[in-house]
């Protein structure tokens, strides 16, 4: 049910944003820069990950599968496929695409942590 709702929200967002609605050519970045917020103590940490890399921050593990950006404009937008797990829990807290300019379209729902993509990296 939640997956269907998220797909619906992504479809609505794509229709509302011309850049996503148009068939846009994308390049794959070598990784991404993510920001992780620990809401309990108010500390943010930026993490630079390469594709297929994992990092442990506090009590969560963040894995970046890939990051995509519009052809010729790596600073313009970032679409990152991210998996977030709590340490010791097999089922992911979040698994899906995050959009840098619209983090609320497909947000991670966790009581303590927030994770969002800032940009793709190209080198």
Structure confidence by residue, pLDDT tens digits, 66-78:
999 998 877 778 9
Residue located via tokens 């229709």 = 15
- What pLDDT score was predicted for residue 7? 53
Write down the domain spans for the chain: 24-121
Count Cβ neighbours within 10 Å for each residue of 3-20 and write b for 16 or more, e otherwise. eeeeeeebeebeeeeeeb
- What pLDDT score was predicted for residue 9? 47
Tell me what the pLDDT averaged over the chain comes to: 85
Long-range CB contacts for residues 37-40, cutoff 8 Å, separation at least 24: 37/113, 37/114, 37/115, 38/112, 38/113, 39/111, 39/112, 39/113, 39/114, 40/112
- What pLDDT score was predicted for residue 103? 84
Please tell me what DSSP assigns to residue 5: H
State the Cα–Cα distance between residues 62 and 55, nearest whole angstrom: 5
Per residue in 6-44, pLDDT (tens digit) is 555 455 455 444 444 445 799 999 999 999 999 999 999
**Two tokens, residue 82:** 């991210």
pTM recorded for the entire structure? 0.77
Per residue in 40-68, pLDDT (tens digit) is 999 999 999 999 999 999 999 999 999 99
Which SS3 state, helix, strand or coil, does residue 123 take? Answer: coil
- What pLDDT score was predicted for residue 104? 82
Residues of the chain above pLDDT 90, percent = 63
């Amino acid at each position: 049910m939640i997956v269907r709702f998220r797909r619906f929200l992504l479809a609505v967002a794509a229709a509302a944003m011309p850049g996503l609605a148009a068939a846009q050519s994308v390049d794959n970045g070598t990784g991404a820069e993510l920001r992780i917020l620990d809401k309990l103590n108010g500390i943010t940490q930026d993490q630079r990950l390469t594709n297929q890399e994992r990092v442990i921050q506090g009590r969560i593990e963040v894995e970046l599968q890939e990051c995509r950006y519009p052809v010729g404009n790596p600073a313009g937008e970032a679409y990152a496929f991210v998996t977030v797990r709590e340490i010791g829990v097999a089922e992911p807290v979040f698994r899906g695409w995050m959009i840098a300019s619209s983090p609320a379209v497909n947000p991670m729902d966790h009581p303590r942590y927030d994770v969002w993509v800032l940009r793709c990296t190209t080198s």
